Chains A and B, each alone.
Chain A
């Protein structure tokens, strides 16, 4: 059985079809890199998988069912928004807020949940973040905290929305390696959206490329080609392979890097 299956699904936001008539299936344990230009629907797709945005046409199933909000078997790392600069909440309370945070009443942290949080923080090598204020953490530290949070409760599917943003190159590698190892060990299916393909090349099983309302899922060698990407970007794309790297160029400019530079102001605009 597929973990995620889309059958001629259309995903709409405010009357605009972000992804149109798309079909693909993701098998258990796959590590999928989700790529595509800004606004191609990476976040939208993840929100649909979470049950926040039912397809306006076609079918979308997760673990064989229509997705519903609050499914504990899905771990989610939202794209990192600007954290309020004065938010002096320590890491432990931050993660604790997400544990059954949807229930009514006063917040509480049971010893068992506390142990779970600490064990997961240990696993990502971030034990020290439990007692530090969020506003004192670097972007990389926050990202590790969020990653730990996504892994709590032993999810079977991880949706990671741009987990590499605000990390330097070295930390990006650490995060990718970590996710790859954990997911192989725990047999977790991963959707990992990113701006740059090259760092993910050694980790991903397949790539899901979004653009122009379409989605193409396949092996990197089959998808990251000039004809496929030209169609997804809606403009003529060149793909160069050199020294184990892949460069996606539009009129000589590196498409991924150009995207990356704009990424903040742009993506936040339609983060909802």
Chain B
């Protein structure tokens, strides 16, 4: 299957995105903000269709909207007490806007499915380069704030007492999530970013207790699910996103059946 360029492209793109998603997703799960990640991807849908409407590449609409939304959510999160409801309302509103933009830009509708459910087999070299750049920016930014991010996630009160700005960390983190979501949506679609961003991370967190072990496992699981998903899709002709979603679910539920694993991982 590697004789086809679209297949090697798919492996390259999915591989990069999966590793970034697995790593960023680990922190998303640790902070209990998976719903926010889900919402960001839906907001991205409005951005992508809106960008199509004014003649821009959907990816930049996706990045712009999710980034703006991530920053706003980060700045507001301290204030909104029942954020799940607020996020849910904005999520539905965004899908609505996405629908409206599609309505006015009908020739774009053929791409709607690709946006919603992903189309990794259509990735070209330019997209790979863009995804690589997005991935590098995401990981570098995450590495820069990782230490205070972990502190603020595990012990917010103490972190604040030690001079960590919880609001800055929360905002910077959601901006990072927004970039990861944008990249992830290119592979599995805005509706299915959970499969790569949350599934592997949640499974990894379930079976490890060490931080680095968890991060590595999360990235490895995401990578394995993405690549294996493409292989299965190649042989069955099922949609890639479906295959990845199934693998992600299997890994997560398998991890749930490991009740009290206590592997003595080195730090």
Contacts and interface: CB of A to CB of B under 8 A. Distances in A.
A131 B30 contact: no
Interface residues of A, number: 40
A50 B158 CA distance: 10
Contacts of A92: 267
Interface string B142-167: 01111110111011111111111000
A69 B262 contact: no
B158 A102 contact: no
Contacts of B210: 90, 93
A103 interface: yes
Contact of A102 (B143, B154, B164, B262): B164
Contact of A105 (B144, B152, B262): B144
A171 interface: no
A131 B209 contact: yes
Given A70-B163, A93-B210, A133-B262, A106 B146 contact: yes
A93 B260 CA distance: 18
Interface stretch (A78-86, A180-188, A198-206): A78-86
Interface in A220-263: none
A78 B32 CA distance: 20
B264 interface: yes
A101 B209 contact: no
Interface string A159-186: 0000000000000000000000000000
A92 B209 CA distance: 10
B148 A104 contact: yes
Contact of A97 (B150, B205, B208, B209): B150
Contact of A52 (B29, B156, B160): B160
B262 A78 contact: no
Point out which of B29, B159, B164, B209 has the most chain A C-beta atoms below 10 A from its C-beta.
B209
Given A89-B211, A131-B209, A109 B267 contact: yes
A6 B148 CA distance: 31
Contacts of A98: 151, 154-155, 158-159, 162
B83 interface: no
| Interface-central residue, B32, B152, B161, B206, by most chain A CB under 10 Å | B161
A132 interface: yes
Given A78-B155, A107-B146, A101 B29 contact: no
A107 B209 contact: no
Interface in A65-122: 69-70, 74, 76, 78-79, 81, 84, 86-90, 92-94, 96-98, 100-109, 114
Interface of A: 47, 50-52, 69-70, 74, 76, 78-79, 81, 84, 86-90, 92-94, 96-98, 100-109, 114, 131-133, 136, 149, 271
Interface of B: 29-30, 32, 143-148, 150-152, 154-164, 202, 205-206, 208-211, 214, 260, 262, 264, 267
